[in-house]
Chain A
Amino acid sequence: MKYDDNIESALTQIAVRLHGDYRLSKRMIGLLLLQDDAEIHNVVREQEGMEYKSILDIIQQTKSQYSHSPNYIITMARQAECNSILSDVVSNLFKRKRGIAESLSRLMMNPWTGIPILLVVLYFGIYQFVGVFAAGTVVDWIEGVLFGDAESGYILPYVTRFFETIIPFRFLQELFVHDYGIITLGIRYAIALILPIVGAFFIVFSIIEDTGYLPRLAMLVDRMLKWIGLNGRAVIPMILGLGCDTMATLVTRTLETKRERIIATFLLALGVPCSAQQAVFIGILSQNSTALLLWISVVVGELLLVGYLSAKALPGDQPSFYMEMPPLRLPKITNVLTKTYSRMQWYLLEVLPLFVIASVFIWIGRLTRIFDLVIAGLQPIVRTIGLPNNVAEPILYGFFRRDYAAAALYDEATGATGLTGNEFLVAAVVLTLFLPCIAQFLIMVKERGVKATLMMAVAILILAFGTGFLLTKALNIFGINLSLGG
């Protein structure tokens, strides 16, 4: 296509001065230079040396001919060309009809109807399907019946006996089997526990994604997320975090600025509970609706407050929000399954090795008695926030497998020397806020660097224990005594 005379003559003049090797046509290079493409400017500056200055003069000269940037002129010319081609061949551009989809779309975008819709989606999609069905029914079967433990079940008894036969030393056996071995803990944890939960979550997420609901959710919460230094776009990693924080941390790559990526990573690590954690906490806390509400509001409040403060503290501009609202569609089952499959595949390839590493760490930590030291060191802190000594162990192990801590707490809560309702709530809040699991931690190092990750870790430790301390005090002051039956 041809542009107007000013642009064309500039293109000719620039082409004469280009001698380097660019792979693109000289005309293309000229157009990109006129449009102030930073990358092409760098390449041309390197390749042309002295000539670059005269090229800049030509661009300057061209710019002075217009009241708009050449980029604008070029885009408008292209648009006009498009329109003239289209007008010859397209007779009836379909208009978006005000059908059911469009009406539903508008209901989703109206806060009065949109927020109830969101709650319904979360209740059925996350709570019922992921929490109750996958984390309850499915996990019980795979973990309890299929894997079993050293004595019963279909897999573990044989594996345990196998390793006991080929390895004569107990401490080496423990690397693979028994309570914290690579197979009993790492592999079993990843496959029997996390895989079904995360898999169910991925199914729900893929369905939600394919309907086109996410952009509507993004526009609904944009104002709220702006408040904590993010924008509507961040809703996608945040919702993913409810499934698996490790994957969500990877997805923060899609955010525009470094500032947003740091805030999102930090909030995911601090207080977005992954599905494994939710399953256990909600399971126990739902026996007492006050406890459940307190847990949710303390964690959400903490996220908002910390997000607000980090948005104030971190330099950089508030990014602007814009997003396409695609029409709502019924998801195709094949697409949902393909997506879920590829996400599960990613999960097994990326996350499974990290759980194996975690098992090795636990093995070393126990063998060298470093863990005993850390637990002893944690106990005074745990006592300070008003919890019994034996909570220290679940807190440490919680770093290696997030739900382990919750499950261990469950034993404490229901055992003879059990935790009181108040203690369980405080422990649940501390563990939700506490350092993420080791898989997420390693991804954070990979994505944000060692320094930023360590700073976040320190902040999280202080916030988690500090909140636990204040919560205990607050419960005492207001004389709240929660009881968890069963």
Chain B
Amino acid sequence: MDISEPAQELLEKLWTDLEETQRDSISLNALGLDKNASEISELVDLGLILFPKEMLLKFTDEGRTEAEKAIRRHRLAERLLSDILETKHQLIESAACKFEHLLYEGMDESICILLGHPKVCPHGRPIPPGECCRKEKEVGSRLVAALADLNPGQDGKIAYVQAKESQEIQKLMAIGILPGTPINLIRRFPSYVFQVGNTQYAVDREIADEIYVRLENREK
């Protein structure tokens, strides 16, 4: 589908606003837009949004899917920029906006696999899962993977820690699980045992799923 950049941005804004407010429609005033704005009429013409009431905006089913894909591309781009290209935090947002437009259909999937199917963007917002996450396809080589998906003996550096609660992250940071630290998985069963620096830790599957590792030697 060919959508202009402003319309694309509106689609994403609509999606995040609805995600935050947990509602299914939003007023034009809240978006600060005029009904006759060109991007609105573009999206209406494409059948992606509709007006259930005067001044109230809503996704069509097709529109929601389209927006979700756009969000996914954006947040994957952020992940890629911060974890692999190690872009400065302040630059990520603007770079991601440009980058996402380069991720055409299918390319987001390769990047998702490369990054080990990340679940949240660097800001901690969820990344909508794609087809590849649902099937957990493991084709191609990965650069980043959750600790839980590593093989015993694999080395890497901690890329980031993704946890629902900041308390949990604090706990892990306190024991030295920090981005950039070398990590080596020793065993997977019955618990995940790994070495960070000079110390060994055992954690359960839940925590091992939250630690993402940038792989170094890709054996096996």
**CB-defined contacts of A218 to chain B, threshold 8 Å:** 202
A222 adjacent to chain B (CB < 8 Å):
yes
B186 within 8 Å of A (CB atoms)? yes
CB-CB < 8 A to B169: which residues of A?
A: 69, 71-72
Pair B189/A111 contact, Cβ less than 8 Å: yes
Contact present for A79 and B90 (CB under 8 Å): no
Decide: A69 near B166, CB < 8 A? Known: A109-B193, A222-B190, A325-B193. yes
Are B89's CB and A222's CB within 8 A?
no
| Chain A residues whose C-beta falls within 8 Å of the C-beta of B206 in the assembled complex | 318, 320
Residues of A within 8 A of B187 (CB): 106, 109-110
Segment at the A interface, from B5-13, B52-60, B134-142, B171-179: B171-179
Q: How far is the CB of A218 from chain B (nearest CB, A)?
A: 7
Q: How far is the CA of A66 from the CA of B92 in the complex (A)?
A: 10
- In the complex, what residues of A have CB within 8 A of residue B166's CB? 36, 69, 71
B170 and A322: CB pair below 8 A?
Answer: no
A226 at interface by CB-CB < 8 Å: yes
Q: Which of A67, A71, A95, A219 contacts B191 (CB 8 A)?
A: A219
Contact present for A215 and B202 (CB under 8 Å): yes
Count A/B pairs, Cβ under 8 Å.
Answer: 94
The reply to whether A75 and B178 form a contact with Cβ atoms under 8 Å apart is yes
Most buried by A among B171, B201, B204: B204
Q: Which residues of A contact B (CB under 8 A)?
A: 36, 65-69, 71-72, 75-76, 79, 93-96, 106, 109-111, 215, 218-223, 226, 231-232, 318, 320-327
Residues of B within 8 Å of A109, CB to CB, are 186-187, 193, 202
Specify which chain B residues have a CB less than 8 angstroms from the CB of A110 in the assembled complex.
187
CB pair A322–B82 under 8 Å, yes or no, is: no
CA distance A325 to B201 in the complex (A): 5
Which residue of chain B lies nearest to A327 when distances are taken between CB atoms in the complex?
A: B200
Whether A323 contacts B168 in the complex (CB less than 8 A), given A68-B89, A111-B189, A222-B191, comes out as no
How long is the Cα–Cα vector from A232 to B90 in the complex, in angstroms?
41
Instruction: Check if B198 sits within 8 Å of A321, measured CB to CB.
Output: no
Q: Are B190 and A325 in contact (CB under 8 A)?
A: no
B189 in contact with A72 (CB, 8 Å): no
User: Chain A interface mostly helix, strand, loop or mixed?
Assistant: mixed
Cβ distance A242 to chain B, nearest Cβ, rounded Å: 21
Question: CB-CB < 8 A to B123: which residues of A?
Answer: 67
Say whether B151 faces chain A, with CB atoms less than 8 Å apart: no
Q: Which of B173, B190, B203 contacts A320 (CB 8 A)?
A: B203
Interface pair A67/B207, CB less than 8 Å apart: no
**Candidate in A67, A96, A111 with the most chain B CB atoms within 10 angstroms:** A67
Contact B175 A106, beta carbon cutoff 8 Å = no
The residue in chain B whose Cβ has the minimal distance to the Cβ of A220 is: B190
* Pairs A-B, 10 closest by C-beta atoms: A219-B202, A325-B200, A219-B191, A321-B204, A322-B203, A67-B122, A67-B89, A320-B206, A75-B173, A222-B191
Residue of A nearest to B170 (CB): A71
Q: Are A321 and B199 in contact (CB under 8 A)?
A: no
Which residues of B (191-220) have their CB < 8 Å from a CB of A? 191, 193, 195, 198-204, 206-207
Instruction: For A223, list chain B residues within 8 Å (CB).
Output: 190-191, 204
A218-B202, A325-B202 as given contacts; A72 in contact with B90, CB under 8 Å: no
B202 near A321 with CB under 8 A, answer yes
Contact for B175 among A68, A95, A231, A324, CB less than 8 A: A324
Cβ–Cβ contact B207 & A232, under 8 A: no
A244 smallest CB distance to B (angstroms): 27
Q: In the bound complex, do residue A106 and residue B190 qualify as a contact, i.e. CB atoms below 8 Å apart?
A: no
- Residues A79 and B178 in contact, CB atoms below 8 Å apart: yes
| Complex CA distance for A219 and B190, rounded to whole angstroms | 7
- Contact flags B50-91 to A (C-beta < 8 A → 1, else 0): 000000000000000000000000000010001000000110
Pick 27 A–B contacts, CB within 8 A, sort by A.
Answer: A66-B89, A67-B78, A68-B89, A76-B178, A93-B198, A94-B198, A110-B187, A111-B189, A220-B191, A222-B202, A223-B191, A223-B204, A232-B191, A320-B204, A321-B202, A321-B207, A322-B171, A322-B175, A322-B201, A322-B202, A322-B204, A323-B203, A324-B175, A324-B199, A324-B200, A324-B201, A325-B202
A71: nearest chain-B partner, CB-CB: B170
**Bound complex: CA A219 to CA B78 (Å):** 36
Q: Are B204 and A65 in contact (CB under 8 A)?
A: no
Question: Which A residues are CB-close (under 8 A) to B189?
Answer: 111
Query: Cα distance A223–B190 when bound, in Å?
Result: 7
Per-position 1/0 for B143-177, Cβ under 8 A of A: 00000000000000000000000101111110100
- Chain A residues whose C-beta falls within 8 Å of the C-beta of B175 in the assembled complex: 322, 324
Minimum CB distance partner of A223 in chain B: B190
CA distance A232 to B200 in the complex (A): 16
| Contact partners of B170 in chain A: CB under 8 A | 71
Chain B residues closer than 8 Å to A219, beta-carbon distance: 190-191, 193, 202
| Complexed CA–CA distance, A223 and B175 (Å) | 22
For residue B19, give the distance in angstroms from its CB to the closest CB of chain A.
17
Pair A232/B178 contact, Cβ less than 8 Å: no
In the bound complex, what is the Cα–Cα distance between A320 and B207 (angstroms)?
A: 7
* Complex interface: chain A residues within 8 A of B93 (CB): 67
Q: Which residues of A contact B200 (CB under 8 A)?
A: 96, 324-327
Q: A220 — which chain B residues lie within 8 A by C-beta?
A: 190-191
Among A94, A106, A221, the residue within 8 A (CB) of B186 is A106
Contacts of B173 in A (CB 8 A): 71-72, 75
- Nearest residue, chain A, Cβ from B179: A76
A111's contact among B92, B190, B193, by CB below 8 Å, is which? B190
Could you tell me the distance between the alpha carbons of A327 and B82 in the complex, rounded to whole angstroms? 35
Closest to B199 in A: A324
**Which residue of chain B has its CB nearest to the CB of A216?**
B202
Given known contacts A72-B169, A75-B178, A76-B179, is B202 in contact with A323 (CB within 8 Å)? Answer: yes
Q: A69: which B residues are within 8 A, CB to CB?
A: 166, 169
Report the separation of the CA atoms of residues A327 and B201 in the bound assembly, to the nearest whole angstrom.
11
Look across to chain B and name the residue whose beta carbon is closest to the beta carbon of A221.
Answer: B190
